[in-house]
Amino acid sequence: MVASLQKSRHYMTALLSSTIILLLLYLQNSLLVFTYRSYGSVSERSTCACSICVADRENSNWFSERYNPDIPILLNSTNSVLNANVSRWWEELQYSQNAGNFTEVANQLFPLFPNKEHYSDAGPDRCRTCAVVGNSGNLLGSRYGPLIDYHDFVMRINKGPIEGYEKDVGSKTTHRIMYPESAIDLDNSTHLVLLPFKILDMQWLISAFTTENITETYMKVPSTVNANKDKVMIIHPEFIRYVYDNWAEGHGRYPSTGFLTLIFALHICDEVNVFGFGATSDGFWHHYFEEIFTSYEYGVHGGKFENETIIRLQQENKILIHRGWR
Question: Which positions are annotated as active-site residues?
Answer: 254, 301
How many other C-beta atoms are found inside a 10 Å radius of the C-beta of residue 29? Answer: 10
**135 known member of a binding site:** yes
d(CA 244, CA 262): 13
The CA-based angle 256-260-264, given to 5 degrees, is: 170
Using alpha carbons, select from 193, 317, 309 the residue that is nearest to residue 255: 309
Residue 10 marked as a ligand binder: no
- Write out the H or E segment, with its range, that includes residue 9: helix 2-45
Annotation-wise, does 76 bind a ligand?
no
Tell me if 276 is assigned to a ligand binding site. Answer: no
Is residue 254 a known part of a binding site? yes
Is residue 82 within 8 Å of residue 102, measured between CB atoms? yes
Task: Find out whether 258 is annotated in a ligand binding site.
Answer: yes
Asked whether the beta carbons of 275 and 132 are under 8 A apart, the reply is yes
The verdict on whether residue 158 carries a ligand-binding annotation is yes
| 278 annotated as a binding-site residue | yes
Cα 62 to Cα 66, 155, 253, 309, distances in angstroms: 7, 25, 23, 11
User: Which residue ranges are tagged as binding site for substrate?
Assistant: 94, 135, 158, 218, 254, 258, 278, 287, 301
Known binding residues are 94, 135, 158, 218, 254, 258, 278, 287, 301
